[in-house]
Amino acid sequence: MAPISCRELSTRLSSLPRGVATTAHARLSFRRTPGPFRQLTPANSDGLLWRLPSAATRDDAVASLVGHLEHDAARRGHDAAAKDDEDEEEYEDEDDVSPGRRHGARRHHHHQDELAARWRDIHGRDDWAGLLDPMDPLLRSELIRYGEFAQACYDAFDYDLASRYCGSCKYPRRAFFDRLGMPAAARGYAVSRFLYATSNFRFPNFFSQSRAGAKIWSQRANWIGYVAVSTDEESARLGRRDIAIAWRGTVTRLEWVSDLMDFLRPVADEGIPCPDPEVKVESGFVDLYTDKDPTCRFCKYSAREQVLVEVRRLVAHYTALGEDVSITVTGHSLGSALAMISAYDIAESGANLSNDKRAAVCVYSFAGPRVGNARFKERFEAELGVKALRVVNVHDGVARIPGILLNEGAPAMVRRVAEGLLRVPWCYAHVGVELALDHKRSPFLKDTLDPGCFHNLEAHLHLLDGYHGRGERFVLASGRDPALVNKACDFLKDHHCVPPCWRQDENKGMVRAPDGRWVQPDRHGWHLDDDHDQHHGEAAPADGAHRHIRLVRRRS
């Protein structure tokens, strides 16, 4: 190779894949040792220090380095596509962070410091104008944070049909985020209430029922989400007291869509105090939100009553202290539909109003279906001022239903005739602002026809982390681990060596008892410790207290 000057170095290096030129962190060491000019050789096993023969001039050294990098580039990539994948899929050891990455970390910290001043914009005051393209880094981090709150509903739910606690939460409320391995959330939020639901519909893919018969924790209830409130320290960082509501959805199976799709029903018929009978929502969604069973300890009150009571209590408490309060509702899939309905209900019923202060209500929705008609959209957005940002994968079919034919994209005249004159009960409209992502932009994800992968929440959070705007390269902004994508699906490319559906409890939750037998640990005390009835002003049943005492004695 002919020698080149240092001035030509940038031109030559620019033709190499960025990962090859930067990840090695090569340093040139000029040493006066005898011997003719030779190809550069690494001085240590990591290849981080390159030694040059003494006869090499500075330009020779540069030429040798470029030659080595070109050779290394050819060796690492089988073709141009593979090189592009490697370019994006960079990992660095925490002890060997480049100055650029340190600068990015400082910039990320700087954005977090801005949150207290910008939280109203991030919460949708101006409908996220100018924040989505290009993607605002602070908004991206907040979307991922609330998306992880929704993901926590999946990770904490007991799906095991062999468990007598199937359909419940695996972790106690007071240690919820700690047990999930979410230290930032554990420091920043305290779960104030678990939410339960029952329904007259039969949803085998949503309402999990144990096969343990009479021994199960509840015959009718399923754990469906939680309410959490920010701590004092977190509230100072956020710039307000935040009430977060997370609703559980579905993981992979999508049959619930056809199970729930029925027809539009006026919300006033379900007890929501709406003055306009033309405001309608999907009947299956609102039934799940309002159904209750007076004979069930956990579903004596509907999910609607549970969340409204808790929100009113928290808003009244913190507004009385003179604090700014926000209500942020999040959910994925079916949980997104419940998030939209509950946010609307909170604003419609005035649960966000106390002490002459109104808490801002916002929804961060992930892969959600349409919920109501065009009049619901108008009431939601323009009249009540509820904000909603919908994160969707353009290849996910759930975001296009119900209302495949008659929706917000149809001509206004067609919608007016269909809904007004013909009274067609299938005219739907999405609410809020859409952030459309494309999983084919990510070099980490493989080409598959599995709709469950397109719909997966962890995949949406991965796409958010790499999204910088329409037409921009996919580059992970926070370094969020791509392995999380395969937590409950098979979406990562095989060369990452991440097994599909890898997340599971150790020994499937079984523990060894003092007598050496393997048993399921008792969880009834956790539910009874939730003060579920006290939030409605009732005392807990006496038999519950005695049962808890017996459990404590068995563990001692």
State the first-to-last Cα distance of the chain, in angstroms, to the nearest integer. 77
Closest CA to 344 of 283, 400, 273, 407: 273
Q: Could you say which DSSP state residue 247 is in?
A: E
- Within 8 A by CB and 6+ apart from 192, the residues are 227, 228, 229, 310, 314
Q: Which of 199, 333, 336, 365 is catalytic?
A: 333
Enumerate helices (H) and strands (E) in the chain, giving the number of each: 20, 16
Alpha helices in 239-352 (DSSP H): 256-260, 283-290, 303-320, 334-349
Backbone phi, psi, residue 480, to 5°: -60, 135
Tokens of 360: 């801002």
Q: Could you say which DSSP state residue 249 is in?
A: -
Q: Which of 160, 345, 396, 465 is catalytic?
A: 396
Annotated active-site residue 291? The verdict is no
Backbone phi, psi, residue 190, to 5°: -120, 125
Is 242 in a helix, a strand, or coil? strand
Closest CA to 528 of 182, 247, 220, 174: 174
Q: Are strands 222-230 and 189-197 parallel, antiparallel or unpaired?
A: antiparallel
Tokens of 444: 């980490």
Q: Could you say which DSSP state residue 127 is in?
A: T
Contact 177, 270 (CB under 8 A): no
Task: Provide the 10 A C-beta neighbour count for residue 417.
Answer: 13
Q: Which of 123, 455, 462, 527 is catalytic?
A: 455
Instruction: State the maximum Cα–Cα separation within the chain, in Å, rounded to a whole number.
Output: 94
Backbone phi, psi, residue 248, to 5°: -80, 145
What is the rounded distance in angstroms from the CA atom of residue 164 to the CA atom of residue 519?
11
226 membership: H or E segment, kind and range:
strand 222-230
Alpha helices in 23-136 (DSSP H): 58-76, 80-88, 99-113, 115-122
Transcribe 323-353 into DSSP letters. --EEEEEEEETHHHHHHHHHHHHHHHHTTTE
What is the rounded distance in angstroms from the CA atom of residue 450 to the CA atom of residue 489?
9
What is the rounded distance in angstroms from the CA atom of residue 285 to the CA atom of residue 289?
6
Tokens of 222: 């399923």
Is 227 in a helix, a strand, or coil? strand
User: Can you point out the beta strands (E) in 353-494?
Assistant: 353-354, 357-358, 360-366, 387-393, 433-437
**Residue showing tokens 């939410």:** 195
Could you give the strand order of the β-sheet that contains 387-393, starting from the edge strand earlier in sequence?
Answer: 189-197, 222-230, 241-247, 325-332, 360-366, 387-393, 433-437
Is 441 in a helix, a strand, or coil? helix
Beta bridge partners of 141: none
Annotated active-site residue 258? The verdict is no
Give me the active site residues, please: 333, 396, 455
